[in-house]
């Protein structure tokens, strides 16, 4: 029976029930999903509370037991959830289990909060459980509270939990059975749980986690595991590189600054790949974040500095890239942050700027100390970078050869209609959407200085494609070849703007959504592979008119936007017919020349990106598969930054 004593369960607590109701209405918002992932997540929420108690220094054992009744029991030997009277007039345990977000935040100075996916704790698990029993041992007593679907079923005595026994032990035990009306299925997936518990053990070397799966009817088939990893991150990196040929030992770095604790372990193996894992408050950050960036940046800088000191890089050589330096690296970066923030859709990317600062400080200092004393390891690391740089340069060369070889075949395959002049400062190239508009443009243009490159339909979205795919794309190759200045990718840079064959690269697409989309795809390509084209102001979009106004009396006039039409309506009294252009294809060559090609009359907009940061943001925006924001970009950014010429 739910407790209905109004003294024990006052007005503030009614609100509480509404809170848990919200969890039942939108479980996905609190635990990610109602699939088996979300189901397992219930266990992690409870375990994380015990891990927090370990981090606070009061618990070194956690047990996780899967029962045959579909339950999970998590117990620890911590201080025990406080059971005394809370300011809300009931036991603090009751508040923790029924108030959303209250879990664990009794005393934030001595008790670190977990950086969990949703950080919501036991009350959420309670809300999503058919039944839940919490047993607390502390202050010499054993206290028990029970719930069904998040609602208390134990009657409090003067607001406090009934004592069911005596003990000198302390700790918390939580047993819950997930609500099968919420979850698609209620069988916990043990493989994932074990792996996560093992990971937790690596991240907390002082902790022993015992796991037992008692779900089989046959007791002899129960599985039990004990996870204790006293070597911590070092052991973790060892495990991650098991069976690979080690190039270095596992190096560990540790330090603290501004209240942020940092621990790092890394090693090199003889493999052409890198793996860098980030954790914040024991939670894996699948998308990395500021801690990882801080580590990578300082690592690259330091290895390059040493490489120059040791003569691996000569004066004329460019630096090793970040991925050169991490060639063969396996690393784990784990930080403890008092106030973690996350970004990204899945909330798995750490966002705190101070994390980057502190990690690079700790890692930087630690690395210099270590490398100064371990020259052989340093040389091995530099050796891995040398190897990577060599391969990278060879690949770049092949790629450039591939492109230059095909240069003339593109010129002669009929797509590019080049101009007569070879003076880049006078030349322009129009990238025209569609063969028919391309045909008109070829007829209409001034052959002396205007080149036309028709492209078919939508080009490849380079944000979503691998470099090989990008370079295999005919339209993209045609553009790279026509421009003549190569391309840069990632850290590699084979781009040479001085070789650009046209002063103006003009994107000419229809003034509709599809046209905007194509322009966006082209801009994405330029950002990523030829950003200097934009930084140095060579990229424009053509502005074909939207309307032609034909008055009964007087001259015809092209109107380039709706504002112009408005103005026209206001300033012309006589009757006029209005022709609306839906696409470039509707214009004959002469009209196309008058409105869009003729430098004397056309309107162009310069595509300008203020700085790299904005470009990065925009590129991120363009990456999404959502069409709407892309359009916005074209209309807002390319518009406001675009000057009329």
Q: Give residues in contact with ligand 0RA (CB under 6 A).
A: 49-50, 53, 76, 78-82, 104, 106-107, 111, 172
Between 96 and 313, CB nearer to ligand 0RA = 96
Smallest distance, ligand 0RA to C-beta of residue 469, A: 50
Between 96 and 262, CB nearer to ligand 0RA = 96
Between 138 and 296, CB nearer to ligand 0RA = 138
Between 111 and 576, CB nearer to ligand 0RA = 111
Whether the Cβ atoms of residue 106 and residue 82 lie closer than 8 Å to each other: yes
Q: What is the CA radius of gyration of the chain?
A: 33
Between 2 and 57, CB nearer to ligand 0RA = 57
Cα 211 to Cα 206: distance, rounded to the nearest angstrom: 16
Q: What 3-state class would DSSP assign to 487?
A: coil
Smallest distance, ligand 0RA to C-beta of residue 53, A: 4
Q: Which two tokens stand for residue 253?
A: 């770095």
Smallest distance, ligand 0RA to C-beta of residue 174, A: 7
Smallest distance, ligand 0RA to C-beta of residue 37, A: 22
DSSP H helices in 473-600 = 474-483, 513-529, 531-535, 562-571, 589-592
Whether the Cβ atoms of residue 326 and residue 276 lie closer than 8 Å to each other: yes
Q: Which two tokens stand for residue 230?
A: 């006293």
CA 251 distance to own-chain centroid: 28
Between 139 and 192, CB nearer to ligand 0RA = 139
Between 111 and 535, CB nearer to ligand 0RA = 111
Cα 139 to Cα 116: distance, rounded to the nearest angstrom: 29
List the beta strands (DSSP E) in 446-559.
Answer: 450-455, 488-489, 492-493, 504-508, 539-542, 547-551, 557-559
Cα 597 to Cα 593: distance, rounded to the nearest angstrom: 5
Of 159, 333, 204, 345, the closest CA to residue 262 belongs to: 333
β pairing state of 547-551 and 557-559 = antiparallel
Provide the terminal-to-terminal Cα distance of the chain, rounded to the nearest Å: 78
Smallest distance, ligand 0RA to C-beta of residue 73, A: 12
Q: CA 108, 114, 117 angle in degrees (round to 5)? A: 140
Between 76 and 324, CB nearer to ligand 0RA = 76
As a dihedral over the C-alpha atoms of residue 90, residue 93, residue 99, residue 103, rounded to 10 degrees, the angle is: 150
CA 47 distance to own-chain centroid: 26
Partnered with residue 349 across adjacent β-strands are 343
Between 109 and 220, CB nearer to ligand 0RA = 109
Question: What is the 3-class SS of 64-82, one letter each residue?
Answer: EEECCCCCEEEEECCCCCC
Q: CA 437, 438, 444 angle in degrees (round to 5)? A: 85
Between 210 and 491, CB nearer to ligand 0RA = 210
Greatest pairwise CA separation for the chain in angstroms: 104
Handedness of CA 433, 436, 437, 442 (dihedral sign): positive
Smallest distance, ligand 0RA to C-beta of residue 76, A: 5
Q: What 3-state class would DSSP assign to 463?
A: helix
Would residue 281 be called left, alpha or beta, if left means φ above 0 and alpha means ψ between -120 and 50 degrees?
left
Between 76 and 199, CB nearer to ligand 0RA = 76
Smallest distance, ligand 0RA to C-beta of residue 23, A: 18
**Residue 293 burial (CB < 10 Å; 0-12/13-18/19+)?**
middle
Q: What is the DSSP string of 358-392?
A: HHHHHHHHHHHHHHHH-HHHHHHHHHHHHHHHHHH
Return the active site residues: 433, 510, 512, 514
């Amino acid at each position: 029976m739910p407790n209905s004593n109004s003294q024990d369960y006052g007005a503030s607590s009614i609100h509480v029930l509404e809170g848990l109701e919200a969890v039942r209405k939108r479980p996905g918002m609190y635990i990610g999903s109602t699939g088996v992932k979300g189901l397992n997540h219930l266990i992690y929420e409870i375990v994380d509370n015990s891990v927090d108690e370990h981090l606070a220094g009061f618990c070194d054992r956690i047990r996780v037991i899967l029962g045959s009744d579909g339950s999970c029991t998590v117990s620890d030997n911590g201080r025990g959830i406080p059971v005394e009277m809370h300011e809300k007039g009931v036991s603090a345990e009751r508040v923790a289990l029924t108030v959303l977000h209250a879990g664990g935040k009794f005393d934030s100075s001595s008790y670190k909060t977990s950086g969990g996916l949703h950080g919501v704790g036991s009350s959420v698990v309670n809300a999503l459980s058919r039944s839940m029993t919490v047993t607390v041992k502390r202050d010499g007593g054993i206290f028990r509270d029970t719930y069904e679907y998040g609602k208390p079923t134990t009657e409090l005595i003067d607001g406090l939990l009934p004592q069911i026994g005596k003990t000198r032990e302390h700790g918390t035990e939580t047993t819950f059975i997930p609500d099968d009306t919420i979850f698609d299925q209620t069988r916990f997936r043990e493989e994932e749980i074990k792996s996560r518990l093992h990971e937790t053990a690596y991240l907390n070397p002082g902790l022993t986690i015992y796991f037992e799966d008692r779900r089989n009817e046959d007791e002899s088939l129960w599985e039990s595991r004990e996870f204790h990893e006293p070597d911590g991150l070092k052991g973790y990196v060892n495990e991650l590189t098991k069976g690979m040929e080690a190039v270095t030992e596992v190096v560990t770095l540790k330090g603290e600054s501004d209240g942020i604790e940092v621990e790092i372990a890394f090693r090199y193996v003889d493999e052409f790949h890198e793996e860098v894992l980030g954790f914040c408050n024991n939670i894996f950050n699948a998308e990395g974040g500021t801690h990882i960036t801080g580590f990578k940046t300082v690592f690259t800088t330091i290895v390059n500095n040493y490489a120059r000191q040791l003569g691996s890089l000569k004066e004329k050589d460019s630096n090793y890239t970040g991925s050169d330096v991490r060639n063969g690296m396996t690393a784990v970066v784990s930080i403890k942050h008092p106030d973690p923030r996350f970004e990204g859709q899945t909330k798995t990317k750490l966002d705190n700027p101070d994390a980057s600062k502190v990690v690079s400080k700790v890692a930087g200092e630690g690395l210099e100390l270590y490398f100064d004393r371990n020259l052989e390891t340093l040389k091995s690391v530099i050796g891995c970078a040398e190897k990577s740089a060599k391969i990278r340069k060879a690949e770049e060369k092949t790629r450039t050869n591939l492109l230059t070889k095909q240069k003339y075949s593109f010129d002669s395959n009929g797509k590019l209609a080049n101009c007569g002049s070879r003076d880049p400062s006078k030349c322009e190239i129009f990238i025209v959407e569609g063969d028919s508009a391309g045909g008109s443009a070829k007829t209409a243009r001034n052959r002396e200085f205007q080149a036309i490159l028709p492209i078919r339909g939508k080009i490849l979205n380079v944000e979503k494609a691998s470099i090989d795919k990008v370079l295999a794309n005919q339209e993209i190759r045609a553009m790279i070849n026509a421009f003549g200045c190569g391309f840069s990718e990632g850290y590699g840079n084979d781009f040479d703007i001085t070789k650009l064959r046209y002063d103006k690269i003009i994107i000419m697409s229809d003034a509709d959504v599809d046209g905007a989309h194509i322009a966006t795809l082209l801009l994405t390509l330029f950002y990523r592979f030829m950003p200097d084209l934009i930084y140095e102001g060579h990229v424009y979009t053509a502005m074909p008119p939207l309307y032609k106004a034909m008055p009964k009396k007087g001259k015809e006039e092209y109107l380039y936007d709706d504002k112009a039409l408005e103005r026209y309506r206001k300033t012309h009294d006589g009757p006029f017919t209005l022709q609306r252009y839906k696409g470039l294809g509707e214009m004959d060559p002469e009209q196309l020349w008058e409105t869009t090609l003729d430098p004397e009359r056309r309107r162009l907009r310069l595509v300008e990106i203020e700085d790299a940061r904005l470009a990065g943001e925009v590129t991120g925006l363009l990456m999404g598969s959502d069409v709407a924001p892309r359009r916005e970009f074209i209309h807002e950014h390319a518009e406001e930054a675009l000057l009329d010429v």
